Structure 1
């Protein structure tokens, strides 16, 4: 890892981070019905990482991040899921971010990331704030019903959280922006503002197959790394998972629909960039400037139309024509 921080020297030390990609049993929408298999895949890949650490093949990670929906079974309310996750986290011996869902028998559903400590279980949580329409909630249900009654099979919708969160994971403060939240300026900026020294973007791209969606998300994550001067950890259930340095370089990435673990030393940063401090102010300023320019063009156009010269037919008659007219009137 020598030279890994060229042009991006660590300001607050470094940590060794591990990104887990457990993969899904089959590509496509039907993976949701195989929730236990997805959980088992991520737990098994974490145990394999622990074996590599014990054998000296891989550095001991200071922290581990799992993808969004790595456990679609709520481990807080399901003892089997709890035990599977606890065994994997204890094996690797590091604080682990676990993507799951909060699913009480009654009440709101939440897409959740849990901070799981070895021997202690979940000690903190983040609720996804930007809920995906038609994926996690159903907008315009009455309209969609005109095309398919299957819309009513979705009876409980996910609800958004309301707070940016950074987890204390070993020596690092890790901010969470789940999946497509990386596309929203305010979500990422507020996460960095909550104290994040590293950004984690747990994602689930399995239903998008081999489309370009996962590469788009990787590109957005690289932009955020540069924008906020933070390393970004991108774990995805089926790929592409990646580790991105603060200067936007992808130092490790996975193949799609494979099981793997990425381990890398990454820098910690606490300073804030101008982009972080200003947030959306430049964007609103540009919008205001554009609107003002359009308004000024409209005003100039109205003024130009208002001072046009009178048509020639309405001009005053010439002196010769007046004379002829007068002469004709005398002869009569």
Structure 2
């Protein structure tokens, strides 16, 4: 990589990204009609259910930061990627609104999920509005590669939906293989992080080879992110994650560490399979037992190792990109942040 002089600490990078993106994100959401706008602002943490301003957690804004830094890594100003950064944040939150409904999760970012406050139907419609708004923003952005960027984001949305559909289908299957689970995660999570980075390259007018390397970096970070997210879905502290403990296990989700554990021939893997074969959601006691079995059967260790391996691969792609200035070091630091959430 080129010099890392001027590289900022991760918290500063995320604050910078949020401060740059928030005004444009709010302006975009303000275009939405009444109730949909209200639900969007509640979900983003800008106001309460009655529309009164709040300072709730709006998330890390990792994807917008990746888009902005990707543009900088090619030598462009971050601001050229602002439409891309807003678009990927809208798509991400579309997926969260839908995920909470499908998974029955009642908490998002330390407060009641939008669907529990406004109803499942309105929350789903709000998610639909956000993804439509994202595509419109790119289509009207005036970026030199707007058409390529729009196609990339559309493909990412399709991959995300495919991955989410597979994730739901896995819940009713007892024969999910690790390779299938990885493919699901590549769509559900990896696709949008890959596209966040690629869109930054498109916005900067980078050549196709550099856009490809940025996308590969994002894809590897994205899959590592899902491994870590699945670990947090089992062992994460609710105070940190904003979600109930063992929520994935109670719903018998076939997450990456769970599928790895289910594939183990050891006694813990067989006992876990028996627990997951039950038709009803797991009790708190059973969910705690399932967490111990996933660990004993090697699922926890495998996902941690995979997250580390994927980060190393991502950093290789970044080195091949030879990014400009401090942007490369900051992209690498965001990758380390993703993986470090387990430690």
TM-score w.r.t. length of structure 2: 0.24
Q: Which structure has the greater CA radius of gyration?
A: 1
TM-score w.r.t. length of structure 1: 0.25
Q: Which has the higher helix share?
A: 2
Kindly indicate whether structure 1 or structure 2 has the higher relative contact order, using CA contacts under 8 Å at least 6 residues apart.
2
